[in-house]
Structure 1
Amino acid sequence: MTIAPNSAPHTVPELDPDHADLIRATLPLVGSRIDDITPLFYRKMFQAHPELLRDRFNRGNQKQGAQQRALAASIATFATHLVDPTLPHPRELLSRIGHKHASLGVTPDEYKIVHEHLFSAIVEVLGADVVTPEIAAAWDRVYWLMATTLIDLEQSLYESAGVQPGDVFRETCVVQRIDDPSGAATFIVESATPALPLPDFQPGQYISVGADLPDSARQLRQYSLTNHPGSARLAFTVRKVPADSNTPAGEVSTWLHNTISPGNRLQITLPFGDLTIDPAATTPLVLISAGIGVTPMAGILEHLAAETPSRRTLVLHADRSAITHPLHDTVVDLVAALHNADLRVWYSALDHGRMNLAEVDLPEDADYYLCGGAGFLQSLHAQLLAAGIPSERVHFELFSPNDWLLGSYGAAPSV
């Protein structure tokens, strides 16, 4: 079953009443078995297409189950909105997924692969006697409504970038590496083909970086751009992710730190991402981050220092100490270069406690940008709502498959 592209990226089509009734009736059942369905789906898909796990999907997220949970939650949230349009609109969910897909070079044909193995897993888990032709048709409709909306959005992103779908990868040369006292490293790259310079970007966007790992896999990871747009060079900062008792060491961050130096070639993608500021706006900005989440904020500060240094800006950051604070000196210098900016930090090693916005005089009419770990974002998002900040003024980035759940989807179904 296919649906002709007919949905603008900011709209979500509707289910017909019969399908809506079936989705409403079966959503609890699908939700209760989603932890069985999604792992089986990925096993089936990777068995049929091992290159997707090797070269496209984040193997770390697969091992931890993060990608499985993200897929389940996204489809359930989309389906829930279709049967109850009074719930928050999933445009943020769709935008976040669409930008991530464009950064990975996803093409329309790949949605057919996902559909084949996802629906095979649904039938295998729930049973053909439960998944009647009518129920299958209703969920098929949900899938293709979501897929087609994303395909349309991704097509618009590719068109805006001036490329064909999936043609987002570029060969670059590393021209500089800056090792930060925090242990992070900033890599500055330029096009390996001088006649084809790297494109401009919006402050807060990211690129995907391709790593050719020792086992011949080509893994992709997203990193925020930390330099000012317009130089034909792109800079991104990477913190080496160590192993702990629950997660393995970061494959790509370790590879970058251990093997990449000036003169090396590096494959990246064109910039994408929707955590961007409006360069023409004059309203105050509040940039809130923790740990390596400072990177998109550094990029935004670079832009402000160069273009609108008088814009009221409040920078809030949480970390263990000034030494572990990535880009600490850069951020301090950038804030000092602005005419109306303040920096406040919370360092746990100095017993500053957790970031508490009740201690801060939040500017009126500000836009709030957040980046950090899931627990940090959940806490700060709740604090902002408690402070009366409208949700439409809160923007966030986690670089984790479930990051959009921290936005207006607090009431998303438990799957």
Structure 2
Amino acid sequence: MLSEKSRPVIEATLPVIAERINFITPEFYKRMFAARPDLMDGMFSRSSQLEGTQPRALAGSIAVFASWLVENPNSYPDEVLSRVAHKHASLGLKEEEYPTVYKYLFEAIAADLGDACTAEVAEAWTEVYWLMADALIKLEKGLYAQQANDVMQSEFKLVKRVESGEGVIDVTFEPADDTPMTDAVAGQYISIIAKAKDGLRQPRQFTLLPSEKNQRRVAIKLDPEGEMTEILHGLKEGDTVEISNPYGDVTLGAFGDDESAPLYLFSAGIGVTPMLAFVSELAEKGSEREVVAVHGDRSNDSWPLKDDYKAAVEKLKNGKLITFLGEEGQGDFFGRVDVAKIDVPSNASVYLCGPLPFMQDVRSALVEAGVPGKQIQYEIFGPDQWMLHDQARAS
């Protein structure tokens, strides 16, 4: 818990740190990578650094954690910590790197705040950092211990590659060595690490799709402006990449055990991937739960994994698919997903996946329609800049 000595200091300085943290974190990464360029090889995404998404995500997590401690000094924001820990584990972050992060983060804080970073302020924020770090280290140790092996990434060979939707490939990998595989849960993701054009190993996360045992199957959407999806799209059968164990805490279990509550799955574009995993798992178990899958896309041709998703929903005893497509006459509705056109009951469990603006719009409309925010889960591909979970619990 946060000490009584530090709490008033954090409370007094939180507005300043919260205002400055988005300027502090880029400077932190600049300092750390200058001293430790090896951390960019296989762990951090160069694109996320250039785009600013990783620094903003770190800034958000620190601000959320500190704010939570001020308001709830005897507890932690468990969901934010869990999300960060799963992401760290998928990248193979080691406990011994937390002092490295501390060193360069606090150098950046001191440089930004100047004389305002007194010994008292530095001591209080050091306490906050290590409370957060120690909580994450404990969670990450637990996640590593649950795996069927003790390696961060192992070699996998591409065994199948098919086109699925505009600019999307559906790829299946199998182990290239005898490393034991951990069984994945629907909704989890893996990190795939491949070499960039300059030889730097770069990680990207992808949601796992239904596959045969001892396989890892994902869908990869081409980003014309991205660094790595073009390289991954260029993989041929027989090529190898490094793949992490499966991680991710937004699974069917995140919705609780109440199967009497209807499940609504809202997706757009490549955001269909976790939904396909959910629906397939429910169908395989013979679930009788009411499941309404709502998908938005530009057209039937652009819709990734369309045939797989339709087939999976049809296998559900109480499954229904509702589509919003950008070409008239192709879907159930024309245009973007509009919650007002769907009767979503207030007791529904809801899952969102797609572009951030899509999820923000849908969530706002759902809350306005009477669905409590605590019943709405989401998944973001890449660094989580929303950090909504715990803040939304009371809504």
Same fold (TM over 0.5): yes
Aligned to 1:148: 134
1:108 corresponds to which of 84, 95, 104: 95
Shift of 1:409: 2.8
For the residues of structure 2 that align with 1:49 and 1:29, how far apart are their CA atoms? 29
Rounded Cα–Cα distance in structure 2 between residues aligned with 1:57 and 1:240: 20
Structure 2 distance, partners of 1:328, 1:20, is 52
| CA distance, structure 2, for counterparts of residue 149 and residue 96 of structure 1 | 12
Aligned-partner Cα distance in 1 for 2:121–2:179? 50
Q: Distance in 1 between matches of 2:317 and 2:278?
A: 15
Residues 370, 377 of structure 1: 8 Å contact kept: yes
Contact 2:60–2:385 under 8 Å retained in 1? no
Distance in structure 2 (CA, Å) of the matches to 1:364 and 1:124: 49
Q: How far is the alpha carbon of 1:178 from its aligned partner?
A: 1.4
Partners in 2 of 1:140 and 1:333 — Cα distance? 53
Please, which of 363, 377, 388 is the counterpart of residue 359 of structure 2?
377
Q: CA deviation at 1:139?
A: 0.3
Shifted more, 338-347 versus 217-226: the winner is: 338-347
Instruction: Please show how residues 47-196 of structure 1 align to structure 2 within 5 Å.
Output: 47-85=34-72, 90-127=77-114, 129-164=115-150, 167-193=151-177, 195-196=178-179
In the TM superposition, residue 335 of structure 1 has moved relative to its aligned partner by 1.3
Structure 1 range deviating more: 275-284 or 230-239:
275-284
Give 1:390-401 correspondences, 5 Å limit.
Answer: 390-401=372-383
Gaps of 5+ in 2: none
The residue type paired with residue 307 of structure 1 is: K
Whole-angstrom CA distance in 2 between matches of 1:262 and 1:148: 42
- Output aligned runs, 1:2-81, within 5 Å: 14-81=1-68
Per the TM alignment, residue 400 of structure 1 is displaced from its structure 2 partner at its CA by 3.3
Residue 338 (structure 2) pairs with residue 356 (structure 1): yes
User: In structure 2, what is the Cα distance between the partners aligned to 1:364 and 1:286?
Assistant: 11
Matched, 1:310 2:296: no
Deviations 1:338-382 (CA, angstroms, capped at 9, x unpaired): 221111111123382321222112256432111111101111111
Distance in 2, Cα, partners of 1:126 & 1:362: 48
Does the alignment pair 1:331 with 2:309? yes
- Cα distance in 2 for partners of 1:38, 1:332 equals 43
CA separation of 1:198/1:281 partners in 2, compared to 1, >3 Å: closer, same or farther?
Answer: farther
**Structure 1 residue matching 2:359: 3-state secondary structure:** helix
1:54-90 CA-partner distances (Å, limit 9, x unpaired): 4321111111111111111111111111111299962
8 Å CA contact 1:378–1:406 kept in 2: the answer is no
Match of 1:387 among 330, 353, 369: 369
Report the residue type matching 1:212 in the other structure.
K
SS at match of 2:67: helix
1:211 aligns with 2:194: yes
Number of aligned residues: 386
Q: Which runs of 5+ in 1 are unaligned?
A: 1-13, 243-248
Structure 2 residue aligned with 1:276: 251
TM-score (norm 1): 0.88
State how far apart, in whole Å, the 2-side matches of 1:297 and 1:158 are.
Answer: 26
**CA distances 1:256-300 after superposition (whole Å, capped 9, x unpaired):** 102x12111121001000110039753432111111111111111
Identity score, percent: 39
Give TM-score scaled by structure 2 length: 0.92
Distance 1:53 1:196 in 2: 25
Task: Report the equivalent of 2:240.
Answer: 265
Structure-2 separation of matches of 1:131 and 1:403: 26
Residue 322 of structure 1 pairs with residue 300 of structure 2? yes
Asked whether the equivalents of residues 99 and 274 of structure 1 are also in contact (C-alpha less than 8 Å), the reply is yes
Q: 1:251 corresponds to which residue?
A: 227
SS at match of 1:251: coil
- The CA distance in 1 between the partners of 2:257 and 2:284, in whole Å, is 13
2: CA distance, partners of 1:118 / 1:209: 27
Aligned residue type for 2:117:
V
Q: Partners of 1:174 and 1:153 in 2: how far apart? A: 32
Name whichever of 85-94 and 211-220 sits farther off: 85-94
Cα distance in 2 between the residues matched to 1:308 and 1:65 = 43
